[in-house]
């Protein structure tokens, strides 16, 4: 998989598909995955426009994140990579941690965002500190952590191929990178940033998401002026993998008009 240099001196992994004149779309993954989680979207949207998914520093094919890396550093690294690849403005779609980073990215460079798609995420999580503590405590054994969390991540009964894919991806995350990602997502409080968003925004949530339940997505929607909320039935926390056709249809319709 290719890497792209960032202005921070390290390289991050990315994958892309498609091309043409339509506004590109950029996908940002969650704390327990990497860019590979977006393969259903790369396959679909790559037929319409330039479509990209990035790893965060320390994830996937990226070089390790330095000590002190924050969610704002993640956002800045993505922006730097976009610039290096000639993408100056894009639809930004993030799931879970990716949604947190998408809000941070908009805060840093609103002119780079044609729209935001915020999936299964929040501006602040009421149980965030406790989830962070549990994540850090379990992170030395990523295989056990993945097996322990998988049934809460997916709507039940889960598709076994999706279940296996998620477990394998999470088990391969570097523990140090995961801890940085866990801090970036679970300790986030971006209410003021969300209120300042002034681009078309779609908030999506799985109806059976137990990690970031629909109440949090509805609260996020209410903070963002003009935001639209959509719920995907029979989906848990990983809506793009569990119900890719429904997810893609929502994003299709939204980006067509955004």
Strand order across the beta sheet in which 201-206 lies: 3-5, 11-17, 51-54, 25-28, 90-95, 113-119, 201-206, 228-232
Antiparallel, parallel or unpaired: β 3-5 and 90-95: unpaired
Asked if pLDDT for residue 192 goes beyond 70, the answer is yes
All residues at 6 or more sequence positions from 229 whose CB lies less than 8 Å from its CB, including other chains: 203, 204, 205, 217, 218, 221
pLDDT of residue 8: 86
Asked if pLDDT for residue 197 goes beyond 90, the answer is yes
* Cα–Cα distance, 136 to 117 (Å, whole number): 28
pLDDT of residue 258: 65
Domain that holds residue 89: 3-257
Asked if pLDDT for residue 108 goes beyond 70, the answer is yes
Q: CATH number, domain at 162?
A: 3.40.50.1820
Convert the pLDDT of each residue in 138-175 to its tens digit.
Answer: 999 999 999 999 999 999 999 999 999 999 999 999 99
**Mean predicted lDDT score pLDDT of the chain:** 97
pLDDT of residue 257: 74
Burial group, residue 101, by CB count within 10 angstroms (0-12, 13-18, 19+): buried
Convert the pLDDT of each residue in 203-221 to its tens digit.
Answer: 999 999 999 999 999 999 9
Q: Which residues pair with 54 in a beta bridge?
A: 14, 28
Structural domains in the chain (count): 1
């Amino acid at each position: 998989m290719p890497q792209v240099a960032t202005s921070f001196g390290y390289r991050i992994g990315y994958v892309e598909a498609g091309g043409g004149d339509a506004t590109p779309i950029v996908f940002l993954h969650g704390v327990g995955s990497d860019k590979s989680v977006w393969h259903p979207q790369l396959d679909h949207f790559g037929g319409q426009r330039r479509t990209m998914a990035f790893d965060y520093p320390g994830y996937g094919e990226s070089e390790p994140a330095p000590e002190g890396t924050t969610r704002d550093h993640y956002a800045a690294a993505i922006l730097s990579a976009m610039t290096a690849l000639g993408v100056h403005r894009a639809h930004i779609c993030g799931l879970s941690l990716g949604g947190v980073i998408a809000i941070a990215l908009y805060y840093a460079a609103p002119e780079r965002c044609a729209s935001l798609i915020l999936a299964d995420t929040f501006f602040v999580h009421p149980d965030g500190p406790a989830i962070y503590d549990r994540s850090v405590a379990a992170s030395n054994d990523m295989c056990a952590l993945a097996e322990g969390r998988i049934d809460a991540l997916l709507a039940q009964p889960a598709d076994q191929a999706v279940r296996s894919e998620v477990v394998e991806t999470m088990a391969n995350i570097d523990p140090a990178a995961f801890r940085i990602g866990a801090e970036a997502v679970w300790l986030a409080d971006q209410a003021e940033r969300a209120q300042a968003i002034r681009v078309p925004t779609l908030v999506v949530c799985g109806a059976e998401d137990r990690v970031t339940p629909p109440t949090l997505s509805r609260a996020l929607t209410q903070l963002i002026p003009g935001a639209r909320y959509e719920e995907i039935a029979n989906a848990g926390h990983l809506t793009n993998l569990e119900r890719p056709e429904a997810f893609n249809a929502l994003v299709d319709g939204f980006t067509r008009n955004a």
